[in-house]
């Protein structure tokens, strides 16, 4: 079993800028991906954290959800590549044909990606349900 070093995975304070009167800190710029992410996951981390940062919608509370999304995106991509090479069935150790395990890995990764996408607001429906808070006064509130 390989031990994964956890040092350097927590965000440093210089990434945060308090943009509200509350205790929630919005990131002022996109963070670097954790060093333990593979190339595919790190690429997704950069793209998605930039999107969230530009929307001013990325806080420290989002890090684990973003990490889960990126790791499962990498699993999904590897499973799809494996399915392209080997197909939906493989020859097992007994010599008989069986279902390619990459099908299950792909399906499991898709479920987690969909859930994390919703939590992070990557799809239009979840963005409408949970809009980014702004300091603009709501006209209905004034009435």
Parallel/antiparallel/unpaired status of strands 16-17 and 26-27: antiparallel
Q: Tell me the per-residue pLDDT of 104-142, one tens digit each, with 9 for 90 and over.
A: 999 999 999 999 999 999 988 877 765 555 555 556 655
Q: Tell me the per-residue pLDDT of 9-34, one tens digit each, with 9 for 90 and over.
A: 444 433 333 334 344 566 666 678 99
Radius of gyration of the chain (CA): 20
Provide mean pLDDT across the span 39-48: 96
Task: Select from 92, 119, 88, 129 the least CA-distant residue to 105.
Answer: 88
Q: Tell me the per-residue pLDDT of 67-108, one tens digit each, with 9 for 90 and over.
A: 999 999 999 999 999 999 999 999 999 999 999 999 999 999
């Amino acid at each position: 079993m390989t031990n994964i070093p956890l040092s350097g995975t927590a965000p440093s304070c210089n990434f945060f800028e308090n943009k509200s009167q509350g205790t929630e800190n919005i990131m002022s710029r996109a963070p670097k991906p954790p060093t333990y992410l593979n190339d595919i996951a790190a690429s997704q981390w950069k793209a998605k954290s930039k999107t969230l940062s530009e929307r001013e919608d990325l806080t420290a509370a989002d890090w684990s959800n973003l990490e889960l999304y990126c790791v499962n995106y990498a699993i999904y991509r590897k499973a799809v590549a494996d399915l392209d090479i080997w197909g939906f069935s493989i020859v097992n150790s007994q010599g008989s044909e069986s279902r390619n395990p990459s099908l299950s890995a792909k399906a499991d990764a898709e479920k987690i990606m969909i859930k994390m996408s919703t939590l992070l607001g990557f799809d239009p429906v979840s963005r409408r349900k949970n809009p980014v808070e702004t300091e603009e006064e709501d006209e209905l509130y004034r009435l």
